[in-house]
Amino acid sequence: MTRGLAGLLLAACLVSAGCDGSLKLSGQVVGPTGTPMARVPVYLFVSDRADTYDPVLWTDAQGRFGLQRTDCTCDFPIELIATHPDFGIGRHATTHKALGNGDSAPIVIRLMPRPKPPSYGEADQASPPNG
């Protein structure tokens, strides 16, 4: 899904869900220094639907994204996933119940870098000697 998973990325989201089947979300994806990240995909998965990750939201020039849906059910689990080829991947899962009845709640998706595997020499030094 991405290449070179390293660095840190934040996606600050605001999600509002109502029991009438509506879902509104908006947010901004920023890099490690707080710089807005343009053209970053943000995936939305709603577990009450049979389809896969849909839709893909792309951030604008200021790193913002938004969506409004009316085909969701009350207390459905949702998951947001933001990706960047240089800064990594992160996800946040929540439900309507956790958000409250139509109330807005801030969500932050924090992407942490994957640990780098040791180099060949480091791996040899870390191994215990054979008896």
Look up tokens 């989201």; give the residue.
Answer: 13
* CA–CA separation, 93 and 63 (whole Å): 21
pTM of the model: 0.60
* pLDDT score, position 8: 29
Mean pLDDT of 86-105: 63
**Rg from Cα positions in the chain:** 18
Q: pLDDT at position 97, please?
A: 59
Q: Which of 64, 71, 66 is nearest to 46 (CA)?
A: 71
Q: Which residue has the higher pLDDT, 71 or 93?
A: 93
Q: How much of the chain, in percent, has pLDDT values that exceed 70?
A: 38
State phi, psi for 81 to the nearest 5 degrees. -130, 125
Note the pLDDT of residue 3: 37
Q: Domains along the chain?
A: 9-111 (2.60.40.150)
Residue 70 CA to residue 111 CA, distance in Å, equals 29
What pLDDT does residue 9 have?
A: 35
| Closest listed residue to residue 113, CA positions, set 77, 85, 88, 92 | 88
* pLDDT at residue 89 tops 70: yes
Q: 47 Cβ partners below 8 Å, 6+ apart?
A: 76, 77, 78, 79
34-81 residue pLDDT tens:
777 788 887 877 666 555 555 678 888 887 777 776 666 666 777 878
